[in-house]
Amino acid sequence: MQKYSFKDDYSEGAHPEILKVLTDTNYIQTIGYGEDEFSEKARELIKEKINNQNVDIHFATGGTQANLIVISSILKPYHSVIAATTAHIEVHEAGAIEAVGHKINTVETKDGKLSPDLVKGVIDYHTDEHMVKPKMVFISNSTETGTIYSKKELTELSEFCKKNKLYLYIDGARLASALTSEKNDLTLKDISELTDIFYIGGTKNGALLGEAIVINNDELKEDFRFYLKQKGALLAKGRLLGIQFLTLFKDNLYFQLAEYANKNAKKIADAFKSKGYSFLSEPATNQLFPILPDELINKLHKKYDFYVWSKIDEKHSAVRIICSWATKENDVNAFIDEII
Amino acid sequence: MQKYSFKDDYSEGAHPEILKVLTDTNYIQTIGYGEDEFSEKARELIKEKINNQNVDIHFATGGTQANLIVISSILKPYHSVIAATTAHIEVHEAGAIEAVGHKINTVETKDGKLSPDLVKGVIDYHTDEHMVKPKMVFISNSTETGTIYSKKELTELSEFCKKNKLYLYIDGARLASALTSEKNDLTLKDISELTDIFYIGGTKNGALLGEAIVINNDELKEDFRFYLKQKGALLAKGRLLGIQFLTLFKDNLYFQLAEYANKNAKKIADAFKSKGYSFLSEPATNQLFPILPDELINKLHKKYDFYVWSKIDEKHSAVRIICSWATKENDVNAFIDEII
Amino acid sequence: MQKYSFKDDYSEGAHPEILKVLTDTNYIQTIGYGEDEFSEKARELIKEKINNQNVDIHFATGGTQANLIVISSILKPYHSVIAATTAHIEVHEAGAIEAVGHKINTVETKDGKLSPDLVKGVIDYHTDEHMVKPKMVFISNSTETGTIYSKKELTELSEFCKKNKLYLYIDGARLASALTSEKNDLTLKDISELTDIFYIGGTKNGALLGEAIVINNDELKEDFRFYLKQKGALLAKGRLLGIQFLTLFKDNLYFQLAEYANKNAKKIADAFKSKGYSFLSEPATNQLFPILPDELINKLHKKYDFYVWSKIDEKHSAVRIICSWATKENDVNAFIDEII
Amino acid sequence: MQKYSFKDDYSEGAHPEILKVLTDTNYIQTIGYGEDEFSEKARELIKEKINNQNVDIHFATGGTQANLIVISSILKPYHSVIAATTAHIEVHEAGAIEAVGHKINTVETKDGKLSPDLVKGVIDYHTDEHMVKPKMVFISNSTETGTIYSKKELTELSEFCKKNKLYLYIDGARLASALTSEKNDLTLKDISELTDIFYIGGTKNGALLGEAIVINNDELKEDFRFYLKQKGALLAKGRLLGIQFLTLFKDNLYFQLAEYANKNAKKIADAFKSKGYSFLSEPATNQLFPILPDELINKLHKKYDFYVWSKIDEKHSAVRIICSWATKENDVNAFIDEII
């Protein structure tokens, strides 16, 4: 590839520290399937960050895998999951959730976020055994459209779920970018306290692959490893996931990488703003959705790769620009210089 | 872990060359989900070794994942798969195949291998729509008990399957150990010509993780990436799998590693033999199942880790000893010295 | 129940002729599971009405069962089915379609009917293996909102589906009411020629239970009885379904019953119209959705049972009134007298 | 069919009293989906016979449907069910249990019955999350080979299951024939007290179709109607099932019919015994498995239909002879006269 890419946050390999630790520990013999000392240590570090010893932590290889395992481990066959129409599980997982047997009840949102009101509409509609029974609320933070939940929003949603016996699950593929956003007021501890289960995304924040599923609700902990095994998620060399999370969580690297990605995204966002462009959703994380004239898009596309997200009108489209832990500041500056 | 382990072939990380190439290519930007240049190049190399351009190759993260995807992609809901009672899919995948909807029709074998006769018994038994319809034969090479198929055996089974419209699938988690066995007379090309689909195992032969699924039968190729995605197998950083197979297949490293593992296993096998011990199955690959007096087992267990496989009589048990690409010759020699 | 019910078309048992034939044939011994002489004869009669010997016909016990079997027999795991948001499979089957693994891609409609344009929107949106692949169009005729497809509409939809390699399936729970509507210009033969598969509903048109699945497309015929068996639809006393369809199709009883139901519904519709009331959808079949003042609803509810379908404004709601083969004209007249 | 059939207990329609009550109640309007007055009354009658008001009762249309719903409603995705190799769910349900995601762990038995010892072997073998977790024991009474459980046997099995946290489920397709066997010492009350869930078979004992699922264990009761609906088992005209069970249980007709069937079977069994023939399993219910010379089989086949069950040696086979509520004594006597 010749053009520099702002298409996504998984274009490069892993943060070099991860490769270094993989290399340094390479010949140490461990037992397999996630019970090795590295995975154990990684779990301990994450529990410390969450400030709660009473959670269970398991590693999966990617977001779709984490989602399908979590959801199928919790829901009974007639239960459904409530999600935004823009949710990753609804749009971009090739029917993974339905393939494990569950309907997704979707809700139109204005910003990719669910609220008690939106969820209430769904549960009020489902009244008897001729319909599915909604039992889980799925949200992403940051969302698929780059927005984030405030502590107030998440607290209200959490309380609503508890009151209505709905499990609350956060897809944290880009949790790091959310928690290091300038606009964020949530901590990892809050996330853990306000949800039943969530995952901490590694793949999009410096790992080769890997997501850490955190189970807060005791009810959901039993026999979870059976689900991992049955869905093909229990890696023989589980150390691969353990070592990566251990490295990311040892010296706060995980949050530093996301902060760096957000910072560069903000630079680009500010550049677009200074030229008067608006956005599909207000920039908050490492994903930007500026609305640009097609001419400018064509100009930028000559040197840069990025997705055209949606057509806005005859002459404008929204595009998606993503920065990552690996984005180089030089490239950001050069890109900004092209914005007219 | 203090004791040296002969428990399995996934106790260490990856062959160092793999880590080196991962590091060297780390900052190259690629597109995701297995369509990157490294994965493409790995596919080309494998096609060369198979000596057939007309196969499709896809990467998965592990054996259970590969098995559940392959089987669910091929079978219709009422189809079953025929396997030995010792088959990995029957015993050690936590019901992964049933979880995607398919019955496994099992057959008792004496050596973990299926033959036309054994398969015929199953299909003759299934006569109408009140029963499942067997449609696939699942074998492992090398098998779960360390045995391998000869070219004659595989050819006969392949012909029987074709005649009876059964798909033939090889789980190749330890295909490398089979193809480099002293007793082997099959090539990768034979495997490809005699089966509809098979996978080339990486995890147990030097990779961090990864299996390469090879689809020979044109009927089975369509839309295979949908299955990968739906089951959570399409890694965002697909390069991780591509780079590993590229490295393993560039200079024949893949077969060298297996040969090395087999050679050390043979050394140990010969040592047991020279002391007069017999085996559950005749040693052929990197897995050994010697039958030992419990006293000797206890003695060996003081310094070495390995599985006690099955009780033979009041004073004897079979154990499993595995050598891998990472087994050190010093440790092999030291272990042999303990055999009395 | 004291009040006379216009709630649905399954409040009574079966047309008396059915009970008579069941009784008359009761002691004749037959083989089981739908291969009896009565089922065979019923199939022949239906083929005559369709005027096509080259269809396969199977009986199921109800609509949800027919839908889940048909859809799961046709779609591969990554395929989805396109349906209106009002479709029975989307709303009122407790997630039966997702439980067999398939996503339903829903489309908002104004009258419960799909058109090529609406379907095109869905298939254009689904571009790659990160999403499901739509492969089937599900429609109901008459629809869940009482509307029917014209020959022109169905022909256009059928042609669009063929062109885009989508299977077209009609849920015919109320097919009889559609085909005997005053506004209908479709025949059973047309239905068979324009679709890949459909079912002829018995339960809501005089049978105790039973739907006749008609497979027009040769590709979809293979091994269908395995699906019936696996989903628990193959009745030991398959004669129960065969005898009912034989009775319904021997002397055109099937269409006479629906015509009668439609006629009474029309009487009621005309009565509402004459008082100036409008309808959610223009009356065409045995289902009416008049929009009434809440006062009138309360008045009618004193003597009659029927569903309040949806709130229209502060003072008005739409209700659902259904006539069936068993509706008595006296009750229709008495009901009409209450309309003010 | 010309020849008189002893092939099964579902060759005729329904006991005439059932058809009479269906006819008498035909025009009574009821609400649908099993909540009608007839179904309620049937439930009450069954509860009386069980002598326990604290059970939940639901109706299904057939045995495979009942089994797949019961099992999928109880087991989590990684749970398996333990059954005899001869069990209906293992052999004759076209993979229905696997299709809802569960492995069947089979055990060889000598008489189609499970015992604590046989079950223990299975659970001891399953040690960790690489394997399924057995969670339910499935037995049939009478069994698929015509044998029955004694009170002692069922009590021991029940206690073992409780101790090992396994659910005990009885497939009662032929429960009536078991409970009215001369050798039986179990009551319906015992069955209910000793199991977590079971079903009372109607189809094979005089009903057109229908099985009554009885849930004894409170844990298993929640939301059961969702499962019925999702699997297509909730009949719009649920009265059809209710009326049948009401008729069967009103005046003990259910047990009278089975007693009559058993009595005729015993007559035939005695006739075979008097000629010196032995049996695959000792006759106890309405199913007989005499071992006959092929010559006699050929002679009998000229006038009678029945299954040849299994080849015994060069000159002998076991056959299956079944009597039912509808078997005529004249035919029994005529058949006996042919035995030489």
Name which of B7, B12, B18, B72 to mutate to probe chain A: the one with the most chain A Cβ atoms within 10 A of its Cβ.
Answer: B12
The mean pLDDT value for B37-46 works out to: 98
Q: Of all helices (H) and strands (E), which one includes residue B191? A: helix B188-194
Q: Between chains, do A27 and B13 touch, taking CB under 8 Å as contact?
A: yes
Candidates B240, B246, B331: best to mutate against A (most CBs of A within 10 A) is: B240
**Which pLDDT score is estimated for C36?**
98
The answer to whether the CB atoms of A99 and B231 lie below 8 A apart is yes
C204 — contact with chain D (CB < 8 Å)?
Answer: yes
By the 8 A CB rule, do D11 and C32 touch? Answer: yes
Please check whether residue D198 touches C, CB under 8 A.
no
Q: pLDDT tens digit string along A193-251?
A: 999 999 999 999 999 999 999 999 999 999 999 999 999 999 999 999 999 999 999 99
Q: Is there a contact between D23 and C23 if contact means CB atoms under 8 Å apart? A: yes
Rounded CA-CA distance D90/D264 in Å is 30
Instruction: Give the nearest partner residue to D78 out of A100, A130, A227, using CB atoms.
Output: A227
pLDDT, average across residues B229-236 = 98
Return the residue of C nearest to B223 by Cα: C129
E strand segments, chain B? 4-5, 56-60, 79-84, 104-107, 133-140, 167-171, 197-201, 211-215, 287-288, 291-293, 304-305, 307-313, 316-322
User: Is-contact B308 B290, C-beta < 8 A?
Assistant: no
Longest dimension (CA), chain A: 61
3-state secondary structure of D202: coil
The model carries a pTM of 0.97
Cβ contacts of A313 within 8 Å, gap of 6 or more:
none
d(CA A147, CA A70): 23
- Write the burial class of residue D6 (CB in 10 Å: 0-12 exposed, 13-18 middle, 19+ buried): buried
What confidence category does residue C333 fall into, taking pLDDT thresholds of 50, 70 and 90?
A: very high
Beta carbons of B87 and B144 less than 8 angstroms apart: yes
CB-CB neighbors (< 8 A) of B93 in chain D? 130
Q: Which of A78, A92, A99 sits opposite C130 (nearest CB)?
A: A92
Under 8 Å between Cβ of D212 and D186: no
Cβ–Cβ contact B77 with D under 8 A: yes
Which B residues, 21 through 60, put their C-beta within 8 Å of a C-beta on chain A?
A: 22-23, 25-32, 60
Per-residue pLDDT tens over the stretch C240-276: 999 999 999 999 999 999 999 999 999 999 999 999 9
Residue in chain B lying closest to C128 (CA): B226
Interchain proximity B72–C77, CB inside 8 Å: yes
Which residues are C133's β-sheet partners? C79
Q: Collect the ranges in chain D with pLDDT lower than 50.
A: 1
- Closest residue on chain D to A75 (Cα): D76
**pLDDT tier at A2, thresholds 50, 70, 90:** confident
Strand partners, C308: C319
Tell me the chain A residues in contact with residue D230 when contact means C-beta distances shorter than 8 Å.
77-78
Domains of chain B: 4-10+254-338 (3.90.1150.10), 16-251 (3.40.640.10)
| Nearest Cα residue to B241 out of B201, B205, B200, B211 | B211
- pLDDT-derived band of residue C2, with 50, 70 and 90 as boundaries? confident
- Across the interface, do B203 and A237 touch by the CB < 8 Å criterion? yes
By the CB < 8 Å criterion, does A121 face chain C? no
Query: Could you give the CA distance from residue C104 to residue C83 in angstroms, rounded to a whole number?
Result: 7
**CB nearest C77 (choices: B129, B225, B230):** B230
Task: Return the residue of D nearest to A226 by Cα.
Answer: D129
Name the residue of chain B whose CA is nearest to A233's CA: B65
Percentage of chain B modeled with pLDDT above 70: 100
pLDDT at B79: 98
- What is the spatial distance between Cα A87 and Cα A111, in angstroms, rounded to a whole number? 11
Q: Cβ distance D38 to D25 under 8 Å?
A: yes
Q: How far is A92 from chain C (nearest CA, A)?
A: 5
CB contact under 8 A, A23 and B23: yes
- A211-215 and A197-201 as β-strands: parallel, antiparallel, unpaired? antiparallel
B75, B129, B231, best to mutate vs chain C, most C CBs in 10 Å: B129
Among all chains, which residue has been given the structure tokens 């059964």? B166
Structure tokens at C279: 């309808």
CB contact at 8 A, D192 and D57: no
Amino acid in the structure at residue D88: H
B121-160: pLDDT as tens digits = 999 999 999 999 999 999 999 999 999 999 999 999 999 9
C230, C231, C235, best to mutate vs chain B, most B CBs in 10 Å: C230
pLDDT in the model for residue A323? 98
Distance CA D221, CA A75 (A): 16
Dihedral pair phi/psi, residue D178, rounded to 5°: -70, -50
β strands within A117-250, DSSP E: 133-140, 167-171, 197-201, 211-215
Nearest beta carbon to residue C13 from set D5, D26, D209: D26
* CA–CA distances in Å: residue C319 to residues C260, C281, C305, C322, C328: 21, 11, 11, 10, 20
CB D248 within 8 A of CB D18: yes
Q: Which residue in the set A77, A80, A95 is minimally distant from C80, CB to CB?
A: A95
Query: In terms of CA atoms, which chain C residue is nearest residue D240?
Result: C208
C153: contact with A, CB 8 A cutoff: no
The 3 state secondary structure assigned to A217-278 is: CHHHCCCHHHHHHHCCCCCCCCHHHHHHHHHHHHCCHHHHHHHHHHHHHHHHHHHHHHCCCC
DSSP string for B142-173? S-TTS----HHHHHHHHHHHHHTT-EEEEE-T
**Spatial separation of the C-alpha atoms in residues D45 and B245, rounded to whole Å:** 68
> CA D307, CA D163: separation in Å to the nearest integer?
40
pLDDT value at residue B215: 98
- Chain C partners of A92 at a C-beta cutoff of 8 Å? 130-131
Sort A89 into a burial class: Cβ within 10 Å, 0-12 / 13-18 / 19+: buried
- Phi/psi of residue C115, nearest 5 degrees: -130, 165
Run of H or E including D249: helix D239-250
Neighbours of chain C (3+ CB pairs under 8 A): A, B, D
From the list B91, B98, B131, the residue facing D92 with the nearest CB is B131
**pLDDT bucket at A14, cuts 50 / 70 / 90:** very high
pLDDT above 60 (res C149): yes
Q: Are the Cβ atoms of B228 and C77 closer than 8 angstroms? A: no
User: What is the rounded average pLDDT of the residues C61-73?
Assistant: 98
Range 220-249 of B in CB contact (< 8 A) with A: 226, 229-237, 239-240
CB-based contact C70:C135 (threshold 8 Å): no
On whether any CB of chain A is under 8 Å from the CB of D267, the answer is no
Q: What is the C-alpha to C-alpha distance for residues A20 and A26, in angstroms, rounded to an integer?
A: 10
Give the mean pLDDT of chain A. 97
Look at C227 and B133 and tell me if their CB atoms are within 8 Å: no
**Which residues of chain C make contact with D62, given a CB cutoff of 8 A?**
232, 234-236
Q: Chain D within 8 Å of C326 (Cβ-Cβ)?
A: yes
Instruction: Assign C214 to helix, strand or coil.
Output: strand
**Amino acid A94: pLDDT:** 98
User: How many Cβ contacts (< 8 angstroms) between chains B and D?
Assistant: 53
| Sequence letter at residue B197 | I
pLDDT band at A155 (very low <50, low <70, confident <90, very high): very high
Whether the CB-CB separation of D139 and D157 falls below 8 Å is answered with yes
pLDDT digits (tens, 9 = 90+) for B90-119: 999 999 999 999 999 999 999 999 999 999
